[in-house]
Structure 1
Amino acid sequence: MSKWLLPEHLADILPAEARRIEELRRDLLDLYRTHGFELVAPPLVEYLDSLLSGTGSDLNLRTCKLVDQLSGRTLGVRADITPQVSRIDAHLLNRPGVTRLCYCGTVLHARPADLLSDRELLQIGAEVFGHDGVEADIQIIQLALESVQRAGVRNARIDLNHPGVFRALVNADPALAEVDAELSDMLASKDVSGISRLCATLNDVRPDTVQALVAMPRLYGGVAMLDQALQVLPRLPAVLKAVNDLKALVAALPDYEFSIDLADAGAGYAYHSGVVFSIYAQGWHDALVRGGRYDGVGKVFGRSRPATGFSLDLRKLSAGLGAPPLTRAIQAPWGTQSALVQAIRSLRDAGEIVVQVLPGQPHSLDEFQVDRELVQQDGQWVIRAIPGAH
C-alpha cells in the first residue's frame, strides 16, 4: 500500500472546498450567536465511560477506542459532540433556567453510516437546555432550517417522529418491558406480522396495547395523519402530549413540507425522548440535519435537564452544493520596494486578495480567479485588468 493512501471512508479536503467549509462554519456560528447561543469547545478525546454516559448502544458502536498512556484507562474519540455539550451544561456551567450552547468540531466514526458516507465529520450544532416545552423544539427546528437556507439549500423537507408514543405504550404495559428494543426495531421496519407474533408470546399483554402496536406502522404520512393517530391510539397522557406537540410544531412552521412517522423511533431510541426530526433536500442521499429532544442525558453528570438540539456535517453540506465559485484576485510582481509593499498592504487591508508571484515561478491556484494585476505606470502602482482573464 502506498504510504500516502488514506484509510477507507477518509478524505482530504482540497483548497476551494476547504475554504467554503470554513466560510460555512464562520457564517453559521455567527448566526447562532445572533440567536443567543454561546460557543463551547469540548475535547476530541474523553474517558469512554464519560463520553458514552446516558447514550444508546449505537453511539458505543460508532466510537473508536484507545488506551490512555497516562492513566491506563480506556479513551474514546468522540463520535458525537451532543453528549459532551450536555455534560458541560449539567456539570460545568450548572446554570439555572435556559442555556443555549453551540459548537463545531471534528468527530470520528469507527464505521461509516453507509457506503456513501465519510467516517470523519465536521459537526456543527446548537442545543437548548432547561425548557421542556415544545417551544424549544420549534426554536431549534427554525434555527436548523435557517442554517441550511443560509448555505443555499432550497425546498427542504422535514421528517418528524416521536419515540414518546412508543415509550408511553411500554410504560403502561409491564408485559412489554423485556421486548421493547425488539418491538422498536419491528415498528421501524413496519413488520406488522412480526409484532403480532411477538405479542402472542407474551403473558398478560393488554389487548389495547397490541391493537396500538399493530396500528402504529400505518401511522405515517402528512399532517392529517395526526388526527387519525388520536383515534386509534390509547388515550394515555404521554401519547396525547406527543401528538399535540407534533401538531403545535407543524402549525408553527406553515411554510414547510412535513412527513410524520410515529412508528420510527429512530436509531437512538435510548437517546431521544421527545420530538425527533430530520431535514432532507434534493442533492443529498441522506438526512442533511438530524436533531430532537433528549431530556435527562445530563442526569449521569449530576443534573437531569430538558434538552433539545440539532447537528449537521459541514463537509456533507458543502459537498452537495456544487462547485464553489472562484474568488477574484490580483496578481502582483515580486519586489521589496517600499512603494510596492505599501501598495500590496493597502489592497489587502481593503479586503482584496493579492498573490505576489515569486521570481521565475508561475502560480497554480484552484481557489482564485486572477483577473487583475498590479503594475507600475508613471512611477505609480495601479491595478489593471488582465486581458482574456474570466
Structure 2
Amino acid sequence: MSKWLLPENLADILPAEARRIEELRRELLDLYRSHGFELVAPPLVEYLDSLLSGSGSDLNLRTCKLVDQLSGRTLGVRADITPQVSRIDAHLLNRTGVTRLCYCGTVLHARPADLLSDRELLQIGAEVFGHEGVEADIQIIQMALESVQRAGVPRPRLDLGHPGIFRAIVAADPALAEIEAELSECVAAKDQSGIQALCAQAGQVRGDLVEALLTLPGLYGGVSVLERALRSLPSLPAIQKAVHDMQTLIQALPDYDFSVDLADIGTGYAYHTGVVFAVYAQGWHNAVVRGGRYDGVGKAFGRARPATGFSLDLRKLSSGLEPAPLATAIQAPWGTDAALIQAIRKLREAGEIVVQVLPGQSHSLDEFNIDRELVLSNGRWQVESVV
C-alpha cells in the first residue's frame, strides 16, 4: 500500500480551499458573537459514557472508540459536539436563565453518513439554553439562515419537522411504546407496510393511533400540511402545541420558502424533542444545516435544561460554493537590506500580501495572483504593476 493513501472518506484540504474554510469559520463565529453567543471549545476526546449521554444508537455507531492508557476506561472521539456543549452548560457554567454558546471543531465519524459524505467534519454551530418557548427556535433558525447567506448559498429552503408529534401518538398507547424504536425507523422511511406489520405484532393497538401513524408519512409538502395535520391526527394536546409552534415559526419568517415533513423525526442521534429543521440548497446533495430543539439532554449531567440549536459542516458548505477568487499579492525579492525589510513590513501592516521570493527558487501558488512587484527605483523601494 502506498504510504500517501488515506483511509476511505477522509481527504486532505488543499491551500485555496483551506483558506476559504478558515475565512468562513472566522466570519460565522464573528456573526454568532454579534448575536451575543459565547465561544466554547470542548475536547476532541472524552469518556464514552459522557460523550453519548442522552443520544441514540446512531451516534454510538458513528463514534470511534479507544482505551485511555492512563485510566483504562473507554474513550470516544466525538462524532457530534452538541452533547458536549450541553454538558458545559449544565455542569460547568451552571447558570440560571438563558445561555447562548457557539463552537467550531473537528468531529470524526466511524462510518460516513452516506456514500457522498466525509468521515471528518469541521462542525460549527450555536445553541440556546434555558428558554423553552418557540422564540428561541425562531432566533436559532434566523441565525442558521444568515449563516448560509453569509457564505453565499443561493435561495436556501427550510424543511420543518417535529418528532413530538410521533412521540405523542406512541405515548398514547403502552403497546406502541414497546416498539417505538422500530416504528420511528418505519415512519422516517415512510414505510406504511412496515408500520402496519409492527402494529399488528404489538397486539391490540388503538385503531385511531394506528391510522395516525399511517397518516404521518403522507403529511409532507407545503405549509398547508399543518392544517391537514390538525384535521387528520388525534386531538392530543402535544400534537396541537407542536403544530401551533410550527405555524408561529413560519409566520415569523415570511421571507423564506418552507416545506413541512411530519415524518421527519430528527437525526438518528435521537435527542431532538421539538421543532427540527434542515436547510437545503441547490448544489448540495443533502442538508447544508440541521438543527432543532433538544430539551432535557443536560439531565444526564445534573440539569435538564430546555435547549435548541443548529450545526453545519464547514467543509461540506465550502465544497458546494463557487471557487473562491485568487487573492492579489505583491512579489518582493530576497534581501536583508533594512529599507527592503521596512518596505515589506509596511505593506503587510497595510493589509497587503507580500511573497518574498527565495534566491534561485521559482514558486507555484494556488491561492494568490501576483499582480504587483516590489522593485528598487531611484534608491527607493516601490510597488509596480506586473507587465
What TM-score comes out, normalization by structure 1 length?
Answer: 0.98
Give the letter aligned to residue 267 of structure 1. T
Q: In structure 2, what is the Cα distance between the partners aligned to 1:267 and 1:373? A: 53
Matches of residues 76-155 of structure 1 in structure 2 within 5 Å?
Answer: 76-155=76-155
Q: In structure 2, what is the Cα distance between the partners aligned to 1:85 and 1:237? A: 31
Are 1:310 and 2:310 an aligned pair?
yes
Q: Which residue of 2 aligns with 1:49?
A: 49
Give the letter aligned to residue 317 of structure 1. L
Are 1:62 and 2:31 an aligned pair?
no
How far 1:114 sits from its partner (Å)? 1.2
How far 1:176 sits from its partner (Å)? 0.5
Deviations 1:72-125 (A, max 9, x none): 000000000000000000000010000000000000000111111110000000
Measured on the aligned residues, the alpha-carbon RMSD in Å equals: 1.0
Q: Tell me if the contact between 2:294 and 2:306 (Cα under 8 Å) persists in the aligned partners.
A: yes
How far 1:4 sits from its partner (Å)? 1.3
SS at match of 1:201: helix
Matches of residues 240-319 of structure 1 in structure 2 within 5 Å?
Answer: 240-268=240-268, 270-319=270-319
Are 1:333 and 2:333 an aligned pair?
yes
Q: In structure 2, what is the Cα distance between the partners aligned to 1:333 and 1:238? A: 71
How far 1:269 sits from its partner (Å)? 6.6
Q: Tell me if the contact between 2:58 and 2:269 (Cα under 8 Å) persists in the aligned partners.
A: no
How far 1:322 sits from its partner (Å)? 2.4
Q: Which residue of 2 aligns with 1:2?
A: 2
The structure 1 segments of at least 4 consecutive aligned residues displaced by more than 6 Å after TM superposition are none
Q: Tell me if the contact between 1:374 and 1:381 (Cα under 8 Å) persists in the aligned partners.
A: yes
Q: In structure 1, what is the Cα distance between the partners aligned to 2:313 and 2:194? A: 35
Q: Tell me if the contact between 1:163 and 1:269 (Cα under 8 Å) persists in the aligned partners.
A: no
Q: In structure 2, what is the Cα distance between the partners aligned to 1:232 and 1:262? A: 12
Deviations 1:162-216 (A, max 9, x none): 0000111111111211111111111112222332233233333212211211211
Gapped runs of 5+ residues in structure 2?
A: none
Give the letter aligned to residue 382 of structure 1. Q
Stretch of structure 1 that moved more, 201-210 or 280-289:
201-210
Q: Which residue of 2 aligns with 1:384?
A: 384
Q: Which residue of 2 aligns with 1:16?
A: 16
How far 1:22 sits from its partner (Å)? 0.4
Give the letter aligned to residue 323 of structure 1. P
Deviations 1:195-252 (A, max 9, x none): 2233233333212211211211111110011001000111111000100011011111
Q: In structure 1, what is the Cα distance between the partners aligned to 2:333 and 2:183? A: 70
Q: In structure 1, what is the Cα distance between the partners aligned to 2:342 and 2:3? A: 44
Q: In structure 2, what is the Cα distance between the partners aligned to 1:192 and 1:70? A: 50
Q: Which residue of 1 aligns with 2:27?
A: 27
Give the letter aligned to residue 366 of structure 2. D
Q: In structure 1, what is the Cα distance between the partners aligned to 2:216 and 2:283? A: 31
How far 1:147 sits from its partner (Å)? 0.3
What TM-score comes out, normalization by structure 2 length?
Answer: 0.98
Stretch of structure 1 that moved more, 81-90 or 254-263:
254-263
Q: In structure 1, what is the Cα distance between the partners aligned to 2:46 and 2:202? A: 42
Deviations 1:43-88 (A, max 9, x none): 0000000000111111000000000000000000000000000000
Q: In structure 2, what is the Cα distance between the partners aligned to 1:105 and 1:47? A: 18
Q: Which residue of 2 aligns with 1:186?
A: 186
Percent of aligned positions that are identical: 78
Q: Which residue of 2 aligns with 1:159?
A: 159
Deviations 1:21-56 (A, max 9, x none): 000000000000000000000000000000001111
Q: In structure 2, what is the Cα distance between the partners aligned to 1:91 and 1:239? A: 32
**Alpha-carbon spacing, 1:50–1:132, altered in 2? closer, same or farther (3 Å):** same
**Alpha-carbon spacing, 1:269–1:328, altered in 2? closer, same or farther (3 Å):** closer
Q: In structure 2, what is the Cα distance between the partners aligned to 1:147 and 1:47? A: 32
Q: Which residue of 1 aligns with 2:349?
A: 349
SS at match of 1:381: strand
Q: Tell me if the contact between 1:47 and 1:73 (Cα under 8 Å) persists in the aligned partners.
A: yes
Q: Which residue of 1 aligns with 2:371?
A: 371
Q: In structure 2, what is the Cα distance between the partners aligned to 1:105 and 1:48? A: 18
**Number of matched pairs:** 387
Q: Tell me if the contact between 1:45 and 1:76 (Cα under 8 Å) persists in the aligned partners.
A: yes
Give the letter aligned to residue 29 of structure 1. L
SS at match of 1:348: helix
SS at match of 2:328: strand
Q: Tell me if the contact between 1:329 and 1:353 (Cα under 8 Å) persists in the aligned partners.
A: yes
